[in-house]
Amino acid sequence: MDLAINPFSSGTRLRDMIRSIRACKTAAEERAVVRRECAAIRAAISEGDQDYRHRNMAKLMFIHMLGYPTHFGQMECLKLIAAAGFPEKRIGYLGLMLLLDERQEVLMLVTNSLKQDLNHSNQFIVGLALCALGNICSAEMARDLAPEVERLLQNRDPNTKKKAALCSIRIVRKVPDLAENFMSAAASLLKEKHHGVLISAVQLCTELCKASDEALEYLRKNCLEGLVRVLRDVSNSSYAPEYDIGGITDPFLHIRVLKLMRTLGQGDADCSEYINDILAQVATKTESNKNAGNAILYECVETIMGIEATSGLRVLAINILGRFLSNRDNNIRYVALNMLMKAIAVDTQAVQRHRATILECVKDADVSIRKRALELVYLLVNDTNAKPLTKELVDYLEVSDQDFKEDLTAKICSIVEKFSQDKLWYLDQMFRVLSLAGNYVKDDVWHALIVLMSNASELQGYSVRSLYKTLQACGEQESLVRVAVWCIGEYGEMLVNNISMLDMEEPITVTESDAVDAVEVTLKRYSADVTTRAMCLVSLLKLSSRFPPTSERIKEIVAQNKGNTVLELQQRSIEFSSIIQRHQSIKSSLLERMPVLDEANYLVKRAASTQATVSSVKSAPAVTPGGPLKLPNGVAKPPAAPLADLLDLSSDDAPVTTSAPATAPKDFLQDLLGIGLTDSSPTGGAPSTSTDLLMDLLSIGSSPVQNGPPTSNVNLPGIAETKSAPVSPQVVDLLDGLSSSTSIPDENAAYPTITAFQSATLRITFSFKKQPGKPQETTISASFTNLATTTFTDFVFQAAVPKFIQLRLDPASSSTLPAGGNGSVTQSLTVTNNQHGQKPLAMRIRMSYKVNGEDRLEQGQISNFPAGL
Amino acid sequence: MIHFVLLISRQGKVRLTKWYTPYPQKQRSKVIKEISTLVLTRGPKLCNFVDWQGYRVVYKRYASLYFCMCIDPADNELETLQIIHHYVEILDRYFGNVCELDLIFNFHKAYFILDELLIAGELQESNKKAVLRLVTTQDTLVEAAKEEASSLSNIIAQATK
């Protein structure tokens, strides 16, 4: 019987169970013991055993802590709580808080018991109920029981009051609407002397301010004076053994009052002025040799930074942080860094003064401190200190931990790009970062580097030579390798001939075959991935044109990959071999240097592209109709085409092949490997669609992902064809027997005809007409051509447009498409762009048809509509 | 606000868990695992704070036990450290030179003390003696109920003899 009443006296089976579990040597043994115990407890529960109920509950709690399921005991908690005795209730509430959380519906059943216990005559039972309610109550329970808790705030017993105040915090968090009900009671609790009640009341007030503006105003008016008094009393109080911690009376109360003062003073000049004096007193008088004192100072500084404090007080606060920062205790330095980050917004100059110390913290042994410090340094960088700070960080990159390099690299790259006015400096820093931590450099960072080099013609020679030297030393940094290989391919002759030397540079002797060696080594390096190898192949191809004597050797290296199991490499290898072998005459013009990449456009795109929406939509930069803007290097700079991202069209990964004569390059990654292919027909009108065929033939994805879809990619591997018209027919020769160009005459000079969709079997071209006086409306005549060798029957074309566009489809001229491009079907579409001039046209299309009675489906999206539709 | 309190032994065994923010059971074990690896792998001289999923974990090792509290990033880390110490001191006085075994066999007492110290993730009492007084008074209440019941059972036993 004894055992039944108190399970925890010595010799009970709870103790035995814990012992036997602890004695288990393996996890399996432990599971067996727990299973046995759980079985016994389940049996006792189903028998409705009352005597051992709380002992079983205690056991279940222990089992629960070990991580085993104990849901079957939940109802037992409710029974214990409903029992009359204090011991049962005590263990019942403990079980309730441990085994259940507010999500469980079982919890609703306890509301009634809680209500009774909140009205109990025994203060300890009331305390148990308040504690449970404060820890796990749900919004519904909060609503139901708020009146009881409100009433208990006025209870005579201080222990009940403080528990009720904390319980109110939970209620207000769950149901912020109730905040106003509590504000007057909370304010009056601030007049109490009992520290527990004071602390709880201050916390409740802070919570009320967060939940309701009305409460905030009320408390600003009614309790500021009391708060100042409380803080003054506690900070001036003589030694009080009950509350003393390290010579300071009740640091907890200090901190909580300071926190509430911050909430009240924020954005309110009057309140701020009222508490200025007491804050100054706390900031100057508090001892800082123990953790408790530092905790108060820390909170005080935060309050000074948070309110409308006087400048003198702010200086005081910053000085405290300076002291913290030079403290030898890691904890203090951590909070100082934390606080300085907030202080930057208030007083940047003051924080700058501690720059050297902060920089030291970046190199700390403790990763928590390093991370904080790095964030802070990043915020501190400005025009004047960017160079020295970057140097420090890059120097540290050399010796830092592997797991910290990623953060550090990202921050350095970001700083270097932000302050990249001095291009030589930018290049030097980027080369160092690439050589030290190239594996951590993000793709967009090195893409940006290439764009910049492409634009800085006077530094290209220097870049390629530096990269060549670095590549010899650090061949294992992936992104360094890529940039270097690209540069060697593009600017190989500058490497060999020491062209455009800078003053400070030392000449180096690199022979043509050295350059080829470097790329070959990279290509054959075991760790190189597909993208890198593909770039190597392009680079080699280019070198074969730059250095004719090495052509034979390059042919062999390229040919080695003809049997590569990666489709991407195999395809490149075969195609490049054919170019080297059979098309000497056009090679040099085909492999000219990349046209200068459009830097402004790239930066805009980079900012806009949230993720790698490297969709399959792409286009070749070409002639802008009606007045092409020819630049000296022969690339057309068409007006920037807005991204079709608003429609989430660009995230579509349905493979679409389009060629846009009049749109800007859609994807710079592809452009890096791609070409600036310009093809102006002798008439100067619309470009012929034959370019599409050429592009398809050479189509190569820039990443392995793009190998999959057979219909993808208009992606020419680093072949620059200039605008010379006579070359075109020869290029078409590469098609080796595929159908020749079918030029579509342009009917409307204002809007060129586009190839809206192209797959292996089907091509769709759009030509456009506008009625005068109706700029929003466009008549599109679509023409479908069957490129396959079998006839398509039951051909249906469907189109979808974004909400701001209206679309009308007229019937097609036929539903049968003859094979081999012999004649085409036309269909006319009328679109009305309700946001004409603001958003470009965009369209998704779907074509279904039958081949030999078998259903086929193709789909894609068109976002290369000429501008102005 | 304190989101949860964990006591973890050096071997990674959980000795006490208290959740003030609702975490479903499954997530609880995941959280415990993450925090244990985070805290147990840190060296002895490093600071007592680690960032964890946008929160901050304040921990301190006492003998073989790690006391961890998870707080909001805006909270005062140094004060949380003081709260941990406050709790440990009360445990020490209650058990008289507390050790891990006390907390294993009397885990419920550790919970009772914590419930007198924190409610809703906020501090309830800054006076150690007051906490001790409240816990021991409630212990006496349990003892008294037990006495009463046993004397009652004696009377019944004698009456039915």
Give me the CATH number covering residue B103.
Answer: 3.30.450.60
**CATH 3.40.50.300 matches A754-862:** no
| pLDDT, tens digit, 9 for 90 and up, residues A477-488 | 888 889 999 998
Cα distance between residue B9 and residue A12, in whole Å: 25
Tell me which residue in A67, A135, A196 faces B120 most closely, judged by beta carbons. Answer: A135
ipTM for the complex shown: 0.95
Helices (H), strands (E): how many in chain B?
A: 5, 7
Q: Is A859 helix (H, G, I), strand (E, B) or coil?
A: strand
DSSP per-residue codes, B63-85: TTEEEEEEE-TTS-HHHHHHHHH
pLDDT at A259 over 50: yes
pLDDT at A579 over 60: yes
| Cβ separation A103–B137 shorter than 8 A | no
- A831 or A699, greater pLDDT: A831
Q: Does B23 touch chain A (CB under 8 A)?
A: yes
| Cβ separation B111–A94 shorter than 8 A | yes
pLDDT at A646 over 70: no
Residue A772: pLDDT band by 50, 70, 90 thresholds?
A: confident
The dihedral region occupied by A714, where left means phi > 0, alpha psi between -120 and 50, and beta the remainder, is beta
Closest Cα to residue B45, out of A326, A328, A356, A288?
Answer: A328
Q: What is the pLDDT of residue A401?
A: 81
* Total domains present in chain B: 1
Q: What is the pLDDT of residue A504?
A: 81
Q: What is the pLDDT of residue A605?
A: 79
| Cβ separation A94–B107 shorter than 8 A | no
Largest Cα separation within chain A, whole Å, is 109
Give mean pLDDT, residues A19-42: 91
Q: Which amino acid is at A81?
A: I
Q: How many CA atoms lie within 13 A of A70 on its CB side?
A: 27
Contact A547, A516 (CB under 8 A): yes
pLDDT at A742 over 70: no
Largest Cα separation within chain B, whole Å, is 68
| Cβ separation B125–A196 shorter than 8 A | yes
Tell me which residue in A8, A130, A331 faces B48 most closely, judged by beta carbons. Answer: A331
Chain A residues in contact with B18 by the CB 8 A cut-off are 97, 135
| pLDDT, tens digit, 9 for 90 and up, residues A543-559 | 888 888 888 888 888 88
Contact A867, A840 (CB under 8 A): yes
Which residues, in sequence order, are bridge partners of residue B56? B51, B71
- A823 or A757, greater pLDDT: A757
pLDDT at A431 over 50: yes
- A707 or B50, greater pLDDT: B50
Contact A527, A476 (CB under 8 A): yes
> Residue B153 is part of which domain span?
2-159
Give mean pLDDT, residues A238-259: 90
Residue A690: pLDDT band by 50, 70, 90 thresholds?
A: very low
Mean pLDDT taken over chain A: 78
Q: What is the pLDDT of residue A675?
A: 39
Task: Tell which of B1, B26, B82, B129 to mutate to test the A interface (max A CBs under 10 Å).
Answer: B82
Give mean pLDDT, residues A265-272: 90
- Is this prediction's pTM over 0.80? no
Q: What is the pLDDT of residue A668?
A: 41
- A704 or A133, greater pLDDT: A133
Give mean pLDDT, residues A575-600: 82
Residue A90: pLDDT band by 50, 70, 90 thresholds?
A: very high
Residues of chain B with pLDDT under 70: 161
| pLDDT, tens digit, 9 for 90 and up, residues A111-155 | 999 999 999 999 999 999 999 999 998 999 999 999 999 999 999
Cα distance between residue B50 and residue A456, in whole Å: 45
Tell me which residue in A159, A335, A366 faces B77 most closely, judged by beta carbons. Answer: A335
Tell me which residue in B47, B104, B108 faces A331 most closely, judged by beta carbons. Answer: B47
Residue A619: pLDDT band by 50, 70, 90 thresholds?
A: very low
- A87 or A850, greater pLDDT: A87
- A420 or A654, greater pLDDT: A420
pLDDT at A627 over 70: no
Which B residues in the span 60-79 are in contact with A, Cβ-Cβ below 8 Å?
A: 76-79
Q: What is the pLDDT of residue A490?
A: 87
| Cβ separation A15–B120 shorter than 8 A | no
> Which range (A52-56, A335-339, A723-727, A814-818) has the least confidence?
A723-727
Backbone angles phi, psi at A453, to 5 degrees: -60, -40
DSSP per-residue codes, A18-34: HHHHHH--SHHHHHHHH
pLDDT at A773 over 80: no
Q: Where are the domains of chain A?
A: 1-100, 754-862
Tell me which residue has tokens 């979808």: A800
| pLDDT, tens digit, 9 for 90 and up, residues A42-88 | 988 888 877 788 888 999 999 998 888 888 888 888 999 998 889 99
Tell me which residue has tokens 């906490």: B131
Closest Cα to residue A135, out of A180, A104, A94, A193?
Answer: A94
- A628 or B133, greater pLDDT: B133
- Burial of A63 from C-beta contacts in 10 A (0-12 / 13-18 / 19+): buried
Residue A102: pLDDT band by 50, 70, 90 thresholds?
A: low
Tell me which residue in B51, B111, B141 faces A371 most closely, judged by beta carbons. Answer: B51
Q: Does B138 touch chain A (CB under 8 A)?
A: yes
Residue A349: pLDDT band by 50, 70, 90 thresholds?
A: confident
| pLDDT, tens digit, 9 for 90 and up, residues A155-191 | 999 999 999 999 999 999 999 999 999 999 999 999 9
| pLDDT, tens digit, 9 for 90 and up, residues A225-237 | 999 999 999 988 8
Most confident of A86-95, A367-376, A680-689: A86-95
- Burial of A11 from C-beta contacts in 10 A (0-12 / 13-18 / 19+): exposed
Q: Does B17 touch chain A (CB under 8 A)?
A: yes
Over pLDDT 90: what percentage of chain A?
24
pLDDT at A731 over 60: no
- A684 or A459, greater pLDDT: A459
Of all residues in chain B, the one with the smallest CA distance to A254 is B79
Cα distance between residue A290 and residue A294, in whole Å: 6
For residue A431, what are the contacts with CB-CB under 8 A and spacing of at least 6? A463, A466, A467, A470, A480
Which helix (H) or strand (E) element contains residue A638? none
Handedness of CA A559, A560, A563, A569 (dihedral sign): negative
Question: Chains A, B: CB contacts under 8 A, how many?
Answer: 179
State both tokens at B43: 């060296």
Q: Does A86 touch chain B (CB under 8 A)?
A: yes
pLDDT at A728 over 50: no
